Chains A and B, each alone.
Chain A
Amino acid sequence: KNEVEQSPQNLTAQEGEFITINCSYSVGISALHWLQQHPGGGIVSLFMLSSGKKKHGRLIATINIQEKHSSLHITASHPRDSAVYICAVRASGGGADGLTFGKGTHLIIQP
């Protein structure tokens, strides 16, 4: 079983819909990242969370440390939001800062 699980794996929605992507993890963490990867490969960091909720434009990320769960929401989705969204965690306990990644959610927003 992967330490970081994302759902759904694939999501197709219509423009304007509210999108939710979920991430569950099984290890203690000090931080959780939401990343975006467009076709062509580049990775952009959307959020880094250790507690609570963050908002940037139409994107909202929440985390529940007790339940080991995070969600990424996209409001008023747009075709340019089509990308792979990846959840990644940094394990707690000091030492390595290398991230452990989920397999990603492929999101397609149709006009």
Chain B
Amino acid sequence: DSGVTQTPKHLITATGQRVTLRCSPRSGDLSVYWYQQSLDQGLQFLIQYYNGEERAKGNILERFSAQQFPDLHSELNLSSLELGDSALYFCASSPWASGGGYNEQFFGPGTRLTVL
């Protein structure tokens, strides 16, 4: 158990709908990352938040957005869903690293999204 929690575990919805995925980082971790794993694209970085602020964007579609709240949990919002958005969505967290360094990322169990 990495200490990172994600809800829900599974989500089935229809095209055109909007869903929200939730992530709670490990206690004390300030950075949260979102990743998408699809059969054709593999694992891709979507977005990173650090202590409530967006830090970096990867291959995140404009239909997707995220935020990190004051209690450090994060939500990934996916709208106007398409069949191709079906994937595993992982959240990861890492602690703050002094001097601009980098720390290990700990992955949550993932949310499996199926768009029908």
A interface residues, Cβ below 8 angstroms from B: 30-31, 33, 35, 41-45, 48, 86, 88, 90, 94-101, 103-104
Distance A99 CA – B112 CA, assembled complex (angstroms) = 20
Task: Give the interface SS of chain B, mostly helix, strand, loop or mixed.
Answer: strand
Tell me whether B11 is interfacial, beta carbon within 8 Å: no
Q: Is B110's CB under 8 angstroms from A97's CB?
A: no
Q: Is A96's CB under 8 angstroms from B55's CB?
A: yes
Distance A35 CA – B2 CA, assembled complex (angstroms) = 13
B interface residues, Cβ below 8 angstroms from A: 2, 31, 33, 35, 37, 42-48, 55-58, 88, 90, 94, 100, 102, 104-107, 109-110, 112
Please pick, from A86, A94, A98, A100, the residue contacting B48 in the complex, using a CB distance under 8 A: A98
By Cβ-Cβ distance, the 3 closest A-B pairs, closest first, are A96-B56, A98-B45, A101-B43
Distance A96 CA – B57 CA, assembled complex (angstroms) = 8
* A96 and chain B: residue at smallest CB distance: B56
Distance A41 CA – B94 CA, assembled complex (angstroms) = 20
Q: In the complex, how many angstroms separate the beta carbon of A57 from the nearest chain B beta carbon?
A: 17
Q: Which of A31, A41, A90, A97 gathers the greatest number of chain B CB atoms within 10 Å?
A: A97
* A50 and chain B: residue at smallest CB distance: B102
9 A-B Cβ contacts within 8 A? A30-B102, A41-B37, A45-B104, A45-B106, A86-B43, A90-B102, A98-B35, A99-B33, A101-B43
Q: In the complex, how many angstroms separate the beta carbon of A45 from the nearest chain B beta carbon?
A: 6
Q: Is B43's CB under 8 angstroms from A97's CB?
A: no
